[in-house]
Amino acid sequence: MKYIIKIISSLSLLLVLYSCSATKFIPEGYYMLDRVNVQSEDKRVKANSLKGYIRQHPNSRWFSLVKVPMGPYALSGKDSTKAINRFLQRIGEMPVVYDSLEAERTRVSIEAAVRNMGYLQARAETETQIKGKKIKVNFRVIPGELYKIRNFTYEIADSVQRKLYECDSLSRLLHARMPFDMNRLEEERVRITNLFQNNGYYLFNKDYIRYEADSTIQNRMVDVKMIVALPLQNDSVSHLHRQYQIGKVEVFCDVDEDDTASLKQIEKNGYQIFFRDHLKVRPTVLADRIVLEQGRLYRESDVQATYNNLGRLYSVLSTNVHLVPRDSSVLDSKVTVTTNRPHSIGAELEGTNSAGDLGAALSFSYQNRNLFHGSELFTLKVRGAFEAITGLEGYADQNYIEFSTEAGLMLPNLKLPLWKRHPASVESTSEVSVMYDSQNRPEFHRRVLTGALRYRWTNKKTRLQHRLDLVDLNYIFMPWISETFKKDYLDDEENRNAILRYNYENLFIVKQGYSMVYNSQGDAGPNASYGKNATAIRLNIETAGNLLYGMSNLLHTQKNGSNQYTLFNIAYAQYVKGDFDFSRSFKFDERNSLAIHAALGISYPYGNSTILPYEKRYFSGGANSVRGWSVRGLGPGTYAGTDGRIDFINQTGDIKLDLSMEYRTFLFWKLHGAVFLDAGNIWTIRSYEDQPGGQFRIGSFYKQIAAAYGLGLRLNFDFFILRLDGGMKAVNPAGQSKETRYPLIHPNFKRDFTLHFAVGLPF
């Protein structure tokens, strides 16, 4: 503990020196901006909601406390000809010099924002506090009284538009007695514009909508009148807004829309499709994704849906929808589609190091984005791996060889009976995949054959992503097991392990499943929510063996010696499994955020299985779990492995709980830091002789929850993140004494510290 105190004291002294030396870069008569704050005298006006209007921010702080990112810059000298000074200044942050003009602009923006909320007499004042060459700035908001709408009326000269507005009364955003919020008034302008544009008014825009407000009424009330103006022609004569219908719709595939005389054409679903030599995509595929229909009123949503539908086709590179008024009531549409190159080839080389055994893997991949001229995506991947294995006595072959091939076909729609056309708000695909993997090790040979048929669809409005595994087949075949391996691990009476034996038997897994994913940031990549207010939820349910078990019962099939039904003399797995995952991040400012995570998984083998297949069992520890333990190093329950060593087979379970909290902060350059707390464990549903202390019991499981804490560094390159996390055990449920059970009180760095390197965020 005394060493930790010394380290903290030294760091504090360094930080003070950094801060003092940074002022040497501040010109005479100027000040370094130390802190900026917004304070409201009315709780109804949240100060945090106004911080986005701040135009000048002080130097970033680690964990909102200390200005470490400025440190490297402060250590540099003023002589920019020296390489070391340029390097320190490049990776560090230049001290922020206070700008009174930016402060005044911030004050004006904050004042205007509060008045727009309905506080028409709001004031914002700038307060400064100077100490040495540093300045602290506080913007104090005095909102005053809130004004409300007394009467809301509207004036719409166009009778058709007036009727549309009146029929849409349930969606209105403005009404009497509500706050006179000008942001809400603007939202209503946008809503009405969308309403009219989706009912034929192609040329309508929100500039035709204005408000008149009378705030001279007493008791802080305002009369609001909304006016939808008529268009002007010749600068004086008013005409009604025009409603347009869609005229002819022409599609141009890989050709210019101005050169129709020399082009071939084909008609499909009422659309004329033009092309030059041959049509690269089947006409039905294009026609089914165009939402514009001749004779129907123009709708802006149909134009956007056409863009989205065509853009989701794997064979389409770009799309353009050009609308041309033919007369005062008809819009002709020209849809231009440019296709992508159908073929692509890739190769990947990787090196491996498994406990000192070196190896390499080489893979080749091929893609066809238009296999059957229906924008189907076909992928084929072949992979080979070799690893030189040393130190295995009693085995004839000393090398590991793996070969795998995988093929997949993605169809750009749900291929279901009676399913003709999906809603524009839904993105969907159908997937078929097969994979064969051959592994030859000194201990055994394993063959794995998988096949799957699944559907995916995403609702763009709700941001919900769904996946339905209609059938997912896994066939595991063990053609050869070394006699040495059998003797030492599978057949030895003193070392008999049911889970281990089950993992090296031939097995069928025929499963069905459903999963749902929600991300408030949309489908923008795994790091889209980093440093933002975001919520992510994942739900997964799968079950296996029920159909086969029912058929076996119905047909009175004979069971094997282990009291299991078989398919082709191979036992099949039967289980149900459910997972729930929740994460939420809270953004404090541009450089600091807090993320929380909770995950629960439960699986239950039954019927034809007493043990869950190894591939479906849970494990704890590692870079994405309780980071005080190495991967598969924690649990189940109080189980500690053989002689305290990690036991990859037995340290698995049927139930998993993960809880995490992580404070994330920007450091400097592309380097980010984190402080985290993790908790969790795994348990078994049944009591297994080989996993003493691992069974879940409702009255004691909470005493077996492990805890860890630590620090992390992340290199953030936006499109991917490299992560280094160091975790320390805090509570170890497998500890046999107070020292080992509570490492937080009795830390031992060599015993309790674990380092993790990973790509991407832990959650």
Each residue's pLDDT tens digit, 270-286: 899 999 989 999 999 99
Euclidean distance between CA atoms 725 and 666, whole angstroms: 15
- Kindly state the tokens that stand for 576: 């149900």
Euclidean distance between CA atoms 40 and 43, whole angstroms: 7
Q: Among the listed ranges 391-400, 490-499, 668-677, which one has the minimum average pLDDT value?
A: 490-499
Query: What would the pLDDT profile of 691-707 be if each residue is shown by its tens digit?
Result: 888 899 998 999 999 99
Task: Provide the strand spans (E) within 369-501.
Answer: 377-388, 399-411, 426-440, 444-459, 464-481
Higher pLDDT pick, 494 / 407: 407
Query: What would the pLDDT profile of 113-141 be if each residue is shown by its tens digit?
Result: 999 999 999 999 999 999 888 899 999 99
Looking at residue 746, its pLDDT comes to 87
Give residue 237's pLDDT band: very low, low, confident or very high (50, 70, 90): low
Q: Which CATH class is domain 2-142?
A: alpha beta
CA dist list (Å): 473 to 336, 454, 513: 42, 11, 12
Does the domain at residues 356-759 carry the CATH identifier 2.40.160.50?
A: yes
CATH 3.10.20.310 domain locations along the chain: 2-142, 148-238
- Contacting residues for 27 by C-beta, under 8 A, at least 6 apart: 97
- Please give the single-letter amino acid code of residue 403: F
Long-range (24+ apart) CB contacts under 8 A made by 330-333 are: 330/244, 330/245, 330/246, 330/247, 331/202, 331/244, 331/245, 331/246, 331/247, 331/298, 332/247, 332/248, 332/249, 332/250, 333/246, 333/247, 333/248, 333/249, 333/250, 333/292
- Kindly state the tokens that stand for 256: 């210019």
Give residue 354's pLDDT band: very low, low, confident or very high (50, 70, 90): low
| Exposure of 663 in the CB half-sphere (CA atoms within 13 A) | 14
Q: Region 593-619: what's the mean pLDDT?
A: 91
Write the CATH number of the domain with boundaries 148-238. Answer: 3.10.20.310
Higher pLDDT pick, 262 / 137: 137
Euclidean distance between CA atoms 304 and 299, whole angstroms: 9
The burial class, CB within 10 Å (0-12 / 13-18 / 19+), for 388 is: exposed
Q: Identify the CA nearest to 587 among candidates 30, 39, 52, 15.
A: 52
Strands across the sheet containing 245-253: 264-268, 271-275, 245-253, 330-339, 316-325
Euclidean distance between CA atoms 758 and 471, whole angstroms: 32
Looking at residue 67, its pLDDT comes to 61
Euclidean distance between CA atoms 366 and 292, whole angstroms: 35
Looking at residue 8, its pLDDT comes to 46
Euclidean distance between CA atoms 639 and 301, whole angstroms: 59
CA dist list (Å): 583 to 130, 517, 597: 42, 12, 4
Give residue 3's pLDDT band: very low, low, confident or very high (50, 70, 90): very low
Looking at residue 524, its pLDDT comes to 52
- Kindly state the tokens that stand for 196: 């009219």
Q: Region 722-736: what's the mean pLDDT?
A: 91
Give residue 473's pLDDT band: very low, low, confident or very high (50, 70, 90): very high
pLDDT of 493 higher than 60? no
Residue with tokens 């009795």: 746
Euclidean distance between CA atoms 513 and 603, whole angstroms: 13
Higher pLDDT pick, 426 / 249: 249
Q: Are 409 and 435 in contact (CB under 8 A)?
A: no
Looking at residue 364, its pLDDT comes to 96
Write the CATH number of the domain with boundaries 247-339. Answer: 3.10.20
Euclidean distance between CA atoms 368 and 374, whole angstroms: 11
Average pLDDT of the chain is 86
